[in-house]
Amino acid sequence: MKPFEISRVVEAPRDRVWKAWTEIEQFKQWFGPKGFTMGYCKVDFRPGGRLHYRLDGPGGVQMWGKATYGEIVKPERISWTQSFSDKDGGTTAHPMAPTWPREMHTTVLLEEQGAKQTKITVRWLPVEGSSEAEFKTFEDGRAGMNQGWSGTFEQFNEFLAKG
């Protein structure tokens, strides 16, 4: 299966972008689809460490998520396995798509584009062992993934513009 992949070039040096992805106080200011804010976030940023968060959206919608960090290569790559969760950190189904893959492997690549720009590439793929229904939902959901990550990049650009 081909991963979902989306890239954007942002107006910030790679070190600045790395910090925005890895320093919790910065990360929680922008991460999530457009219109969502991070209402809760706890992180242990190291290989094997965990992230647990809650995104608060329009109309009181709340979505919990969690991740376990895999590879961390400063300042160029971060990978993790993520899933939806409950407030206690248990793995749950997607609240609006029950056949969405229970676990996704995420890789974020940061590439210098001169001294003042960085190319961010996000790759998403269901983990091995996902069901056929989960793979199909993933494949059918590419437009929604594009919309969600595009909104996240919009929020990221707004965060960077604030300085």
- 76-125, pLDDT tens digit by residue? 999 999 999 999 999 999 988 999 999 999 999 999 999 899 999 999 99
Q: What is the pLDDT of residue 99?
A: 96
Rounded to an integer, the average pLDDT of 142-157 is 94
**For the chain, how many structural domains are there in total?**
1
Q: What is the pLDDT of residue 95?
A: 87
In terms of residue numbers, what domain contains 139?
Answer: 4-161
User: Going by C-beta distance under 8 Å and a sequence separation of 6 or more, which residues neighbour residue 41?
Assistant: 24, 27, 28, 51, 52, 53, 54
Rounded to an integer, the average pLDDT of 1-17 is 96
Q: What is the pLDDT of residue 33?
A: 87
| CATH code assigned at 114 | 3.30.530.20
Rounded to an integer, the average pLDDT of 122-138 is 95
> Is 163 a residue whose pLDDT tops 90?
no
Q: Which of 9-13, 31-35, 133-137 has the lowest mean pLDDT?
A: 31-35
Rounded to an integer, the average pLDDT of 51-64 is 95
